[in-house]
Amino acid sequence: MKLLIFGVILIATHTGAEDLVQGPGRKLCYTQWFDLDNPNGNGDNETLQDLRAEYPKNICSEPLTIQAATLTEVPAERIGQVFEVYDTVSGFVCVNSQQKNGECCLDYKVRFGCPCFWPSDMTDV
């Protein structure tokens, strides 16, 4: 009886390990860069909602990462401006009135990291 229980545990453990090995890869592929809006008006709005409307096939349904950068290729994190929205669910929004010293937002572009099996318009990292 003890031997049987030991055997069952062994099989269960083994199956779990196999699942791990065969689990889906998490390799990331980036979309193209998107720049829909300019900083005029109330700010620079690169929301996922707007981008999906404009490019319905180019962004996976659940992006894993988002990157924003200025049009001169500087990562948004290094600029030091305030971003109202910067996430994989809503996209990116910089509001002019939230910036220091009456500055306007710079013009930003965004791209998304998707699982690599997503079929369209992907470039490798």
Residue positions counted in the chain: 125
x-marked contacts with Ca ion along 90-119 as a string, rule CB under 5 A: -----------------xx-----------
CB of 94 to Ca ion, least distance (A): 8
Q: Which of 29, 34, 37, 92 is in the footprint of Ca ion by CB under 5 A?
A: 37
Task: Give the separation between CA 97 and CA 68, rounded to whole angstroms.
Answer: 19
x-marked contacts with Ca ion along 7-36 as a string, rule CB under 5 A: ----------------------------x-
Binding site for Ca ion (CB under 5 A): 35, 37, 41, 44, 107-108
